[in-house]
A = this chain, B = another copy of it.
Amino acid sequence: MKLTILGCYSATPRALTNTTSQVLEINNHMFLIDCGEGTQVQLRKHKIKFNRIKHIFISHLHGDHFFGLVGLISTFRLLTREQDLHVYGPKGIKEIITLQMKLADSWTNYKLIFHELISEKSELIFEDDDVEVFTIPLKHRVYTNGFLFKEKEGERKIDINAVEESHIDVAYFRKLKQGFDVENEKGVLIKNEDVTFSPNKPKSYAFCSDTVYNESMVPVIKNVDVLYHESTFLDKHENLADSTKHSTAKQAANIAKQANAGTLILGHYSSRYDDLNDFKLEAQTIFKNVLLAEDGKEFDFD
């Protein structure tokens, strides 16, 4: 599981900082999460292949989280993309994009599928053999969801030496990977656990931005391996966080602690602060394992 931060600042793109967007590589998927203005340029700078992106998740319809979406969709068209693109986001996102396509008389040559979200409860919005994605209802000035990405338990791994010693025919490997006991060439039943290794522990990632301090998300993200939680402000501006429906670093850490997260990544910083390390120090008074998002930073969780 690998996370690339394309942008992690709030409000507006600037010469050296970008608004929210990130790419999560998980079980061979490449999910784009939020898409602030300039995201397509950030993708190019980080040499992320456009055609690996098949699913885009938009948290909410504030500009710093989605003004780059229409441009990315348009660029996919210009690059003669053929494969489907799925966009998950609040109701209204389809109207915004299609209105612009209509007025530009520029419809995509690929299939563009919108999954508009309206639920106030966590729901499963994507699932295949490898991954599940759930919404995380957040509390912000407009309808907002975070997203929980969960690897599914993988197949068991063959212990090559053990299967040879146990004289198991290769035809049974498929069943072994699925966890079944099998008979060997002599008709003896071999226990699965004697000839296979456990799969890697499935990993999970929760993206929570933007939101005011909101304990109701804790049950949804309980025991998540990596939690990205917005920290627009420091504790000294807690009032401002409350009134603008954002969080402080301390509040983010409190959520991480209650959720028993493995790692907390902070981001969505207000541009008023000079030293990002203050966010880390503040959060670490509550929760130890804190990392700071920075534009262009890659986190490898394998």
Answer yes or no: A170 CB below 8 A from chain B CBs.
Answer: no
Q: Which A181-215 residues have a C-beta within 8 angstroms of B?
A: none
Are the C-beta atoms of A95 and B106 separated by less than 8 Å? no
Are the C-beta atoms of A62 and B104 separated by less than 8 Å? yes
Q: Which A53-106 residues have a C-beta within 8 angstroms of B?
A: 61-63, 67-68, 70-71, 74-75, 78, 90, 92-93, 95-96, 99-100, 103-106
Q: Which A16-54 residues have a C-beta within 8 angstroms of B?
A: 37-38, 40-41, 44-45
Given the known interface contacts A63-B74, A68-B37, A95-B99, the answer about A105 and B12 at a Cβ–Cβ threshold of 8 Å is no
Q: Which residues of B contact A78 (CB under 8 A)?
A: 11-12
Are the C-beta atoms of B103 and A92 separated by less than 8 Å? yes
Are the C-beta atoms of A14 and B41 separated by less than 8 Å? yes
Band of interface residues on A: 20 to 34
Q: Which residues of B contact A45 (CB under 8 A)?
A: 15
Answer yes or no: A125 CB below 8 A from chain B CBs.
Answer: no
CA distance A45 to B13 in the complex (A): 11
Given the known interface contacts A67-B70, A71-B67, A74-B67, the answer about A104 and B61 at a Cβ–Cβ threshold of 8 Å is yes
- Considering only CB atoms, which chain B residue lies closest to A63 in the complex? B74
Q: Which residues of B contact A63 (CB under 8 A)?
A: 70-71, 74, 100, 104, 106
Known: A63-B104, A63-B106. 11 other contacts (CB 8 A): A11-B75, A12-B40, A13-B40, A13-B41, A37-B40, A37-B68, A37-B71, A38-B38, A61-B104, A67-B70, A105-B141
